[in-house]
Amino acid sequence: MGQETLLNELNDRSREVFRRVVESYLDTGEPVGSRTLTRALSEKISAATIRNVMQDLEFMGLLDSPHTSAGRLPSQMGLRLFVDGMMEIDAVAPTDRAAIDQTLGNDDPETGVLLDRVSTALSSITKGASLVLMPKHEAPIRHIEFVSLGPDRALVVLVFADGHVENRIFTPPPGQTPSSMREAGNFLNAMAEGKTLAELRGGLAHQISTRRRELDVLAAELVESGIALWGAEAADPRLIVRGRANLLDSEAADLNRIRILFDDLERKRDIVEFLELTERGEGVRIFIGSENKLFSLSGSALVVSPYMNADRKIVGAVGVIGPTRLNYGRIVPIVDYTAQLVGRVLSGRKG
């Protein structure tokens, strides 16, 4: 049954009971009983009538009944219905807006420092854990070089046309020599001129297969393993996670669940892949419980919004993670404002 159909099936009384249960849960985290609702509802009705309404809402799948309590909690489906169809979005409070604005400061830090500040401020303001996915670097490549650091360690250095430099330490294929490293670097430099990293990586396999005779076997292996570093594994440095300790404060009663969530947050590559999915559409997105394939646990929620560069292209994302009883009405506009601010600031930069 679709959300619109469910909403249409709720009369005014059912809608108010449902809204009160959800709002109370988001505020306290506790089940709500019929006696509590009799004091809160605008319409004076008996506790027995309210119990009947709550049973109907439970039958519809919008409320759950914990075994240890006579009260009700919203189900995951109920939270989704409330967030999409009934939630009132607050304006960003002046104090929250000022705290986010202050991350810019009076200086002009490099992008990584700025986004680290933004992530720290976001976790502090929302009392959740914050995620900031930094932009990919998409300037053309100027130079690539492999440097030996020992028998089983090597460094691959990328210098971009705008002066940006990235390095990765990796384990090279066995048997590499200074000669094979020079050959691998020369091969890549001949291919890379004027290309971005994504363009280079996209055509690399074809070039190696068609031009393999030009490459020593060792050099070919080095080319493949070195550039692979800018594939999935290279995604880790793009992600900034701050405020994990806030999750302990919010869910202290369930430390095992928080421990597993911490483990999920450590698997940064999975998070990067998930956040990159948000680049397919504008605006804030809310993932509740098991809708969120990012986490092992159903008790978490993620509020996330992409941000854009000067060309209106989505290049990264900011988000907040917390328990499912987040104050969505407050956090959604904070995440939205932060994403727009980051986009405006980065759009004013050359790189």
Under DSSP, is residue 6 helix (H, G, I), strand (E, B) or coil? helix
Under DSSP, is residue 139 helix (H, G, I), strand (E, B) or coil? coil
Q: In this predicted structure, what is the pLDDT of residue 339? A: 92
> What is the per-residue pLDDT across 306-341, written as a single tens digit (0 to 9) for each?
888 888 877 888 999 888 888 899 999 999 999 999
Least confident of 138-142, 210-214, 235-239: 235-239
Q: In this predicted structure, what is the pLDDT of residue 122? A: 94
- The answer to whether 31 and 38 have CB atoms below 8 angstroms apart is no
- The answer to whether 223 and 187 have CB atoms below 8 angstroms apart is yes
Locate the DSSP E strands across the chain: 63-64, 73-74, 129-133, 141-150, 153-160, 165-170, 239-242, 285-288, 300-308, 314-323
Strand order in the sheet with 314-323: 239-242, 129-133, 314-323, 300-308, 285-288
Mean pLDDT of 217-244: 66
245: number of Cβ within 10 Å: 10
Determine the Cα–Cα distance for residues 274 and 210; give it in Å rounded to an integer: 34
> What is the per-residue pLDDT across 206-219, written as a single tens digit (0 to 9) for each?
776 676 666 677 77
Determine the Cα–Cα distance for residues 144 and 222; give it in Å rounded to an integer: 12
Q: Which two tokens stand for residue 144?
A: 């690539």
Mean pLDDT of 228-253: 63
Q: Which of the four pLDDT bands, split at 50, 70 and 90, describes residue 68? A: low
Domain ranges of the chain: 3-86, 94-136+237-348, 140-232
- Domain range 3-86, CATH architecture: Orthogonal Bundle (1.10)
Determine the Cα–Cα distance for residues 19 and 26; give it in Å rounded to an integer: 11
Least confident of 42-56, 152-166, 206-220: 206-220
Side chain identity at residue 236, one-letter code? D
Return the top range by mean pLDDT from 79-93, 104-118, 144-158.
Answer: 79-93
Please tell me the CATH code under which domain 140-232 is placed: 3.30.390
Is 235 a residue whose pLDDT tops 50? no
> What is the per-residue pLDDT across 9-20, written as a single tens digit (0 to 9) for each?
788 888 988 998
- The answer to whether 30 and 24 have CB atoms below 8 angstroms apart is yes
Mean pLDDT of 39-59: 85
Calculate the dihedral angle through the C-alpha atoms of 279, 283, 284, 288, rounding to the nearest 10 degrees: -70
Q: Measured between alpha carbons, how far is residue 43 from residues 12, 31, 47, 91, 310 in Å?
A: 10, 21, 12, 29, 52
Q: Which two tokens stand for residue 178?
A: 């200074």
Q: In this predicted structure, what is the pLDDT of residue 120? A: 92
Is the whole model's pTM more than 0.75, yes or no? no
Phi and psi (nearest 5°) for 309?
A: -95, -170
Q: In this predicted structure, what is the pLDDT of residue 346? A: 83
Q: CATH homologous superfamily for 94-136+237-348?
A: GAF domain (3.30.450.40)
**Average pLDDT, whole number, for the chain?**
79
- The answer to whether 292 and 302 have CB atoms below 8 angstroms apart is yes
Is 94 a residue whose pLDDT tops 90? yes
Least confident of 64-73, 176-185, 234-243: 234-243
- The answer to whether 318 and 338 have CB atoms below 8 angstroms apart is yes
Is 286 a residue whose pLDDT tops 60? yes
Determine the Cα–Cα distance for residues 299 and 253; give it in Å rounded to an integer: 13
Is 33 a residue whose pLDDT tops 90? no
Determine the Cα–Cα distance for residues 180 and 218; give it in Å rounded to an integer: 6
Least confident of 61-75, 79-93, 207-221: 207-221
Mean pLDDT of 40-53: 83
Mean pLDDT of 112-140: 86
Is 171 a residue whose pLDDT tops 70? yes
